[in-house]
Amino acid sequence: MWQISCDESRVDGCKFMLFGALSIPAYAQASFDQADRNFRHATNNDLAHFKWVKAASNKKLPDYLALVDLFFNQGAFFKCLIVEKSKVDYARYHKRDHELGFYKFYFLLLSRLVKFNLEYFVRVHRRSDKNRARLIDLQAATNNWCRKTAGKHITPVRSLEGAEFTKHTELQIVDVLLGAVGYHWERMHLKQDASKPKIAICKSICTRLNKASLEFQSEWQQTKFNIWKWEPR
């Protein structure tokens, strides 16, 4: 069973909001888990958790760079959905419900990730939602879309649940990668007071991707690190 870990970034106060997913195939899970244990031991961070908002530390920079290496050295895949918030019509398409619109973008991300012949366990960074059935609805909507598109009764998303950020390195990787992508898309790295450690993390990711910037959009076949900017129809 594949594992997908999801998080979001820059929901408030920014031009863009980002949704990200880290996918780990069943065949790569054991290797990832061992590499994660090695990473935690090597960085003496058994209990620490990594977040983009905490990445502005020169002392912790080597650990964040090691986290980036953990992702790129393993058989994991990252997909980022970028939404320009000014283009979202909540009144017309989301019943003026921002939380509903938020989860529709999660659905958009997940429905384009799952393959009909596979099974998935999905964890989403736990939020304090007004509607406590959001995750149940998200799982149902994704499976229903898969059935309609495939033309047969399938249930690719076998489980979807909220998860504590501090307990899963996968969620922390998503947070840091999303933070780096958002840093470039918002042009934060160009500001006079830009964080040098965050600039270094972004540069490390760019080097791995052979890109000058993280402000780009991917071709669909680019699966290791894929950035997709949503445009309304």
Domains and CATH numbers, the chain: 2-229 (3.30.420)
| Nearest CA-CA partner of 5 in 54, 76, 74 | 76
Give 62-101 pLDDT, tens digit per residue: 999 999 999 999 999 999 999 999 998 877 777 787 888 8
CB 217 within 8 A of CB 229: yes
Q: How many CB atoms are closer than 10 A to CB 166? A: 13
**Residue 4 pLDDT greater than 90, yes or no:** yes
- Secondary structure letter of residue 117 according to DSSP: T
**Residue 11 pLDDT greater than 70, yes or no:** no
The pLDDT of residue 45: 75
Higher pLDDT, 140 or 131: 140
Give 161-219 pLDDT, tens digit per residue: 999 888 899 999 999 999 999 999 999 999 999 999 999 999 999 999 999 999 999 99
User: Which residues are 225's β-sheet partners?
Assistant: 78
